[in-house]
């Protein structure tokens, strides 16, 4: 195998594949990335046996077809430290040589035939979703998953397809985020009849490989795996086993409630100020609505007090107060554009707050009791 690459563009693709390859593994070959080239171009593949990617290599000149297994960390350092615009990579089965204008590196090689194959996206039956929509679904739900439950249902994002709607849901039991977007069919993809729960780490990696813009992404959930294909390549992940909570029951359905429209930017700025005196033991911030304003206040014995006020369209004289973990509110605001407006739906201080936007994004936050502030 012998190729010439554009160092910068190759490095960008290599970094995505490198994020999949495990740093440590009983199977040491998984700590490498497989590079395979033919007359039509090149492909990088990486896997940890749970998640895998196959990525097309841009700006490549192929002199001799073939394949090589390349150590992730060493090649990453070469690509990062080199100042050359172009590099040559040559493999002969015993070693891989990387040559620049005034540099040469020889890396030990392993047998590429021993590298596990990453699943391919085959067939003509699949779903299609906009890359922009899929990125937003991930961005607005992933943060709400339970980071400590990586192998269980709460450690992943639920994906549900209902007709022409794809819904993503993430929850850790204390808050829940859900968003829906449009999806379409090509051919007749099978309905798996089971929940598609994608591990949080897989969702993070998927977001990295998705194309910028509205390019269509092919999307195929199966019984125990998910395949995603776009112009850059193919992404594969095993699904989380387990039963996802009935999330529809968590979304408040109440007739008599207060719905208050609040601008994201001013709310986020005021919240950060109110949270200055919070501590690891006291994260609760009081949100008091009434008299045309929202007051966010906090008090901790070991730090001090804060009080920040912003105007809102809520003129009720009787004040309404709810105590929320400021981190959970901030997580919601961070995934929205500062110039947007959201609706804060509140009924009382001991019932869940429901924040939602006009593009089918909803976020439920359970209140804190006064003695848990």
**Cα distance between the two ends of the chain:** 63
pLDDT of residue 40: 86
pLDDT of residue 242: 85
Does 83 lie in the same domain as 152? Answer: no
Give the residue-averaged pLDDT of 8-21.
94
Does 311 lie in the same domain as 277? Answer: yes
Enter the tokens of residue 11.
Answer: 């490095």
Q: Would you say residue 367 has pLDDT above 90?
A: yes
Does 363 lie in the same domain as 305? Answer: yes
Does 170 lie in the same domain as 182? Answer: yes
Query: What total number of domains does the chain contain?
Result: 3
Q: How confident is the model at residue 255 (pLDDT cuts 50, 70, 90)?
A: confident
Q: Would you say residue 149 has pLDDT above 80?
A: no
Task: State which of 206, 230, 248 marks the end of a domain.
Answer: 248
Position 120 in a domain: no
Does 289 lie in the same domain as 242? Answer: no
Does 93 lie in the same domain as 20? Answer: yes
Angle at the Cα of 362 (from 299 to 351), degrees rounded to 5? 50
Rounded Cα distance, 277 and 283, in Å: 9
Does 300 lie in the same domain as 201? Answer: no
Question: Which residues, including other chains, have CB under 8 Å from residue 89's CB and lie 6 or more apart?
Answer: 1, 2, 3, 4, 5, 35, 68, 70, 96, 97, 98, 99
Q: How confident is the model at residue 138 (pLDDT cuts 50, 70, 90)?
A: very high
Q: Would you say residue 35 has pLDDT above 90?
A: yes
Rounded Cα distance, 220 and 100, in Å: 41
CATH number at residue 262: 3.10.150.10
pLDDT tens digits, one per residue of 178-187? 999 999 999 9
Position 25 in a domain: yes
Q: Would you say residue 372 has pLDDT above 70?
A: no
Position 352 in a domain: yes
pLDDT of residue 268: 98
Rounded Cα distance, 294 and 311, in Å: 6
Does 46 lie in the same domain as 28? Answer: yes
Rounded Cα distance, 341 and 356, in Å: 9
Question: Who has greater pLDDT, 371 or 244?
Answer: 244
Does 350 lie in the same domain as 320? Answer: yes
Angle at the Cα of 111 (from 105 to 114), degrees rounded to 5? 140
Output the CA–CA distances (angstroms, integers) from residue 338 to 175, 311, 335, 342, in the order listed: 22, 16, 9, 10
Predicted TM-score of the model (pTM):
0.90
Position 58 in a domain: yes
pLDDT of residue 292: 94
pLDDT of residue 216: 92
Rounded Cα distance, 370 and 361, in Å: 29
Does 180 lie in the same domain as 82? Answer: no
- Are 151 and 180 in contact by the 8 Å Cβ rule? The answer is no
Q: Would you say residue 369 has pLDDT above 90?
A: no
Give the residue-averaged pLDDT of 300-312.
91
Rounded Cα distance, 14 and 78, in Å: 12
pLDDT of residue 150: 64
Does 137 lie in the same domain as 206? Answer: yes
Sign for the CA dihedral angle at 214, 217, 221, 227 comes to negative
pLDDT of residue 151: 64
pLDDT tens digits, one per residue of 188-234? 998 766 679 999 999 999 988 887 788 999 999 988 899 999 988 99
**Domain coverage including residue 45:** 2-114
Task: State which of 93, 114, 135 marks the end of a domain.
Answer: 114
pLDDT tens digits, one per residue of 69-104? 999 999 999 999 999 999 999 998 889 999 999 999
pLDDT of residue 148: 82
Q: Which of 122, 118, 14, 19 is nearest to 60 (CA)?
A: 14
Position 259 in a domain: yes
pLDDT of residue 122: 87
Task: State which of 219, 248, 277 marks the end of a domain.
Answer: 248
Rounded Cα distance, 329 and 270, in Å: 12
pLDDT of residue 47: 96
The average confidence (pLDDT) of the chain is 92
Does 110 lie in the same domain as 136? Answer: no
3-state helix, strand, coil in the chain (%, to 5): 25, 40, 35
């Amino acid at each position: 195998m012998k190729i010439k690459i554009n160092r910068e563009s190759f490095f960008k693709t290599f970094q995505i594949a490198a994020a999949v390859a495990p740093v440590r593994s009983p199977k040491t070959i998984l700590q490498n990335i497989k590079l395979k080239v033919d007359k039509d171009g090149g492909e990088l593949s990486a896997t940890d046996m749970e998640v895998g990617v196959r990525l097309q290599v841009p700006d490549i000149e192929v002199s001799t077809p073939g394949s090589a297994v390349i150590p992730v960390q060493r090649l990453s350092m070469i690509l990062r430290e080199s100042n050359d615009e172009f590099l040559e990579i040559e493999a002969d089965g015993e070693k891989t040589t990387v040559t620049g204008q005034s540099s040469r590196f020889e890396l030990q090689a392993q047998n590429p035939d021993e590298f596990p194959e990453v699943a391919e996206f085959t067939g003509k039956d699949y779903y299609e979703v906009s890359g922009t929509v899929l990125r937003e679904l991930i961005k607005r739900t992933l943060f709400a998953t339970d980071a400590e439950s990586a192998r269980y249902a709460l450690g992943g994002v639920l994906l549900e397809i209902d007709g022409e709607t794809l819904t993503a849901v993430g929850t850790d039991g204390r808050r829940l985020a859900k968003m829906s977007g449009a999806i379409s069919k090509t051919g007749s993809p099978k309905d798996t009849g089971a929940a598609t729960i994608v591990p949080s780490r897989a969702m993070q990696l998927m977001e990295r490989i998705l194309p910028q813009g509205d390019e269509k992404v092919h999307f195929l959930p199966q019984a125990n795996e998910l395949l995603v294909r776009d112009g850059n390549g193919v992404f594969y992940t095993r699904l989380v086993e387990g039963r996802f909570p009935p999330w529809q029951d968590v979304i408040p359905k109440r007739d008599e409630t207060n719905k208050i429209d609040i601008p994201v930017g001013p709310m986020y700025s005021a919240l950060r100020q109110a949270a200055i005196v919070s501590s690891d033991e006291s994260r609760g911030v009081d949100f008091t609505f009434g008299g045309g304003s929202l007051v966010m206040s906090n008090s901790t014995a070991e730090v001090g007090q804060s009080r920040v006020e912003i105007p809102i369209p809520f003129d009720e004289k009787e004040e309404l107060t709810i105590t929320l973990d400021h981190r959970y509110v901030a997580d919601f605001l961070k995934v929205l554009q500062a110039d947007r407006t959201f609706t804060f739906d509140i009924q009382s201080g001991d019932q869940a707050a429901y924040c939602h936007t006009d593009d089918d994004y909803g976020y439920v936050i359970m209140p804190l009791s006064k003695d848990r502030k």
